[in-house]
């Protein structure tokens, strides 16, 4: 029998034994992206000064995943759980770095 929470919905695998905790590396990455984008918006532009939408999307994905996972929230659905995981945050940061250095 699968473990359930009070409302009767199934608990994600591994969640029954230990509650999710804050993930400081993801939270720190999200805070750094937020502050850098706020204080230095040209970070998200290309060489000609126009907005680089691919770079911005990668950075915002990393920031979103960093905040969601960083505060300890772990979605129940597998797709959302992966999109907002610490690994997704790192992958999006790597993609942003690749996009920034390609231009």
Residue 20 in tokens: 């999710």
The pLDDT tens digits for 13-62 are: 555 567 889 999 999 999 999 999 999 999 999 989 999 999 999 999 99
Residues 6+ apart with CB under 8 A from 80: none
The per-residue pLDDT for 39 is 98
Q: Using pLDDT thresholds of 50, 70 and 90, give the confidence band for residue 102.
A: confident
Q: Which of 93, 101, 98 is nearest to 47 (CA)?
A: 101
Radius of gyration of the chain (CA): 17
The pLDDT tens digits for 55-83 are: 999 999 999 999 999 999 999 999 999 99
């Amino acid at each position: 029998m699968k473990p359930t929470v009070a409302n009767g919905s199934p608990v994600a695998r591994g969640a029954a034994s230990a509650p999710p905790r804050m993930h400081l590396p993801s939270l720190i990455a999200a805070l750094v992206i937020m502050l850098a984008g706020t204080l230095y918006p040209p970070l998200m532009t290309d060489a000609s000064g126009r907005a680089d939408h691919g770079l911005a999307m990668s950075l915002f994905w990393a920031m979103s995943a960093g905040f969601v996972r960083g505060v300890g929230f772990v979605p129940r659905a597998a797709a959302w759980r992966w999109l907002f995981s610490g690994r997704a945050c790192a992958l999006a940061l790597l993609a942003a770095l690749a996009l920034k250095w390609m231009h």
